[in-house]
Chains A and B, each alone.
Chain A
């Protein structure tokens, strides 16, 4: 090392003005690129994110097609194959797992110390968390489209315009589930505890929803489970995606998804606020 003083004419930090829109965009771009690179570096993550829903589509749905008839319910105007019915739910599944995966990576980052790099940035904490969430959602949406591409060859086809129209729905659903993951990451103290998230969050959310069965079917089987499904925000994420495939907006779902996104995000921002929650404090209690 010779001399680490720089000669590039970057203004001294104290002489810089407040951040403008351009700097915010630079920061957002940096976080997006970093998440994208991490994703590309983890090929097994990409493959497993596709294998899981494809197994459901190729094996589970094929078997269930014979035993579960789906009547004509909105947005479908005719009888549809069970594979068609289950596809929005599987898109939701990808977003759900991806949201939790992002949460897992935040816990990992915290344990490895990478999280501090983000948290000591001079940008507002809320902005950093939202940017991280957006990056996670961008990654999960690419996974969904990769899945839809393969499903198309399996004969599961939505109206062509539906693939475009569903993008905002995927984005909103991804934001809600990512924000939930972020909130959970603030309360999960260690990576090892994350298995509990699978059992207590992902599976109950997925199974107690309209992802696999229409709600009227659930109601026939168990009124209690039907109520639970109705309280589950994931149900609304799936319905929002389902209707969007056919160019329709399910307004209740839209309102619920937006509401929960706001609630989860607010919770995560509060949890990561150093004056309130911040898990790092709990974790580092012994390291003075």
Chain B
């Protein structure tokens, strides 16, 4: 692919590959032995969109993330990241991905800087450029003063924010966040969500945000609902609400998954 092929311009910034979906899944299935975890999943996310992957615990969200991030191989179906097949061109696909896993993945015995520098090296970014970017990103989250502190000394919310800027270090075009706000207080949750939304708005980054917290869905989002390994809804929020014959996304989700309606912020 040419270096400038398919670029578009948003607010003076060039963005990649506008013509191809940021993420495209076609008939993806996955089983753990005889237990079907994902069954014939197909959807796509356009560049610059914020997509929320909604599902109860056990719906298949983490399996889906593991397939997209190539931790598991896709045996049935295809996954493309900006047109690159994750199985055949995993390197090309992975360099476009920034991933925040559900479980904490910072090395607690290393400092914030050492963790970030390690990640930068795993993307082939030299130390000078990495340090510059680390400083800038840490400053943006008001954590410059924690640069040389062990990750162990950070709070849960701070660890999560460092993990998010780590996922952004190599300037990915698609950001995957698996239950990124789980275990955080309301303020931290709101801050993280708001910052990720700013990234989509200002940088044109595509985001796949997996959650089971319905109040994290905004009216402009694309919503993908997984239930017991099956895709039961996919589209703009208002479409999903309309198709479910509901008034709110909360009610739509409850109807679609067959659970009792929840109050906003309540865990399904």
Q: Are A8 and B136 in contact (CB under 8 A)?
A: yes
| A77 contacts partner chain B, Cβ-Cβ < 8 Å | no
CA distance A288 to B66 in the complex (A): 9
Interface string of A13-51 (1 = CB under 8 A from B): 111111100111011011101100110011000000000
A34–B115 Cα distance when bound, in Å, is: 8
B203 contacts A5, CB within 8 Å?
Answer: yes
For residue A15, give the distance in angstroms from its CB to the closest CB of chain B.
5
Residue of B nearest to A275 (CB): B73
- What residues of B have a CB within 8 angstroms of the CB of A1 in the complex? 140-142, 161, 191-192, 195
Asked whether A288 and B101 contact (CB < 8 A) given A7-B136, A27-B124, A122-B94, the answer is no
Residue B263, interface by CB 8 Å: no
Pair B82/A14 contact, Cβ less than 8 Å = yes
- Which of B85-93, B216-224, B233-241, B246-254 sits within the interface? B85-93
Residues from chain A with Cβ under 8 Å of B66 in the complex: 280-281, 284
Tell which of B14, B133, B136 touches A12, judged by Cβ atoms closer than 8 Å. Answer: B14
Query: Which chain A residues lie closer than 8 Å to B182 at the CB level?
Result: none
- Contact of A2 with B17 in the complex, beta carbons under 8 Å: no
Kindly state the interface size class of chain A when it binds its partner. Answer: 35 or more
Cα distance, A34 to B132, chains bound together (Å): 19
Q: Which chain A residues (111-125) contact chain B, with CB distance < 8 Å?
A: 112-114, 116-124
Taking a contact as CB atoms under 8 Å apart, the answer to whether A38 and B109 are in contact is yes
Name, among A34, A112, A285, the residue most crowded by chain B CB atoms within 10 Å (CB to CB): A34
Residues in chain A near residue B192, CB distance under 8 A: 1
Say whether B129 faces chain A, with CB atoms less than 8 Å apart: yes
A155 within 8 A of B: no
Cross-interface CB contact of A15 among B3, B118, B136, B202, cutoff 8 Å: B3
Chain A residues closer than 8 Å to B124, beta-carbon distance: 19, 22-24, 26-27, 122-123
Shortest CB–CB separation between residue B195 and chain A, in angstroms? 5
Question: Which B residues are in CB contact (< 8 Å) with A117?
Answer: 105, 118-119, 122
Can you list 24 A-B pairs with a CB-CB distance of less than 8 A? A4-B141, A6-B137, A6-B171, A10-B171, A12-B14, A15-B7, A19-B124, A26-B121, A27-B123, A30-B121, A33-B118, A38-B109, A41-B109, A113-B103, A113-B104, A116-B101, A120-B69, A123-B91, A123-B122, A123-B124, A274-B73, A275-B75, A285-B35, A288-B60
